[in-house]
Amino acid sequence: MSSIKKLGARKRIALIAHDNKKPDLIEWAIFNKTTLAKHELIATGTTGKMVEEALDRPVKKLLSGPLGGDQQIGSMIAQSEIDVMIFFWDPMEAQPHDSDVKALLRLGIAWNIPMACDRSTADFLMTSPFMHEEYNATLPNYTDYLTREIKKDE
């Protein structure tokens, strides 16, 4: 049986961008400044500093992505401390921490959080009525997976 996670009207939004996508994320954040002002922003390293300067508002800054920031965001997702993830990743350039990126995206899907990896999807998320009101998100039930793993170990 699945459970419900209640997202408040004020969302906790993770902002992440690879180097080549940082200008795009900053431009997007400025465009969405009014909407973002209603939410709590959490970001990895340099992205957080850039967003904070561009929006002239506080951003909770974690480590740089390659130095563990991606994993910090992933941990926050698993602990229900992130409600939405905006991750402008670069599809044209391999990253030295690709395994961390893949793990972060997997956690976003596993915990059923709204995610955007490009500007169009991010714009759709920001303009959704659900961004401005409480929302009951369904959390997947992984009991069957755990049961299978226990049987394999026996």
In order of their start, the domains of the chain are: 3-153 (3.40.50.1380)
β-strand 135-139 against 3-7: which pairing, if any?
antiparallel
Which of these is catalytic: 19, 24, 70, 123? 70
Residue 70 annotated to the active site: yes
β-strand 3-7 against 12-17: which pairing, if any?
unpaired
* pLDDT at residue 153, as a whole number: 66
Residues present in the chain in total: 154
Q: What is the pLDDT along the chain (154 residues), one digit of tens a residue?
A: 678 999 999 999 999 999 899 999 999 999 999 999 999 999 999 999 999 999 999 999 999 988 899 999 999 999 999 999 999 988 887 776 678 888 999 999 999 999 999 999 999 999 999 999 999 999 888 887 767 666 666 6
* pLDDT at residue 144, as a whole number: 78
Q: Cα 28 to the chain's mean position, in Å?
A: 15
* pLDDT at residue 99, as a whole number: 81
Dist. CA 50–CA 86, nearest whole Å: 15
Output the pTM of the full model.
0.90
Dist. CA 52–CA 43, nearest whole Å: 9
Strands (E), the chain: 3-7, 12-17, 40-43, 60-61, 84-88, 115-116, 135-139
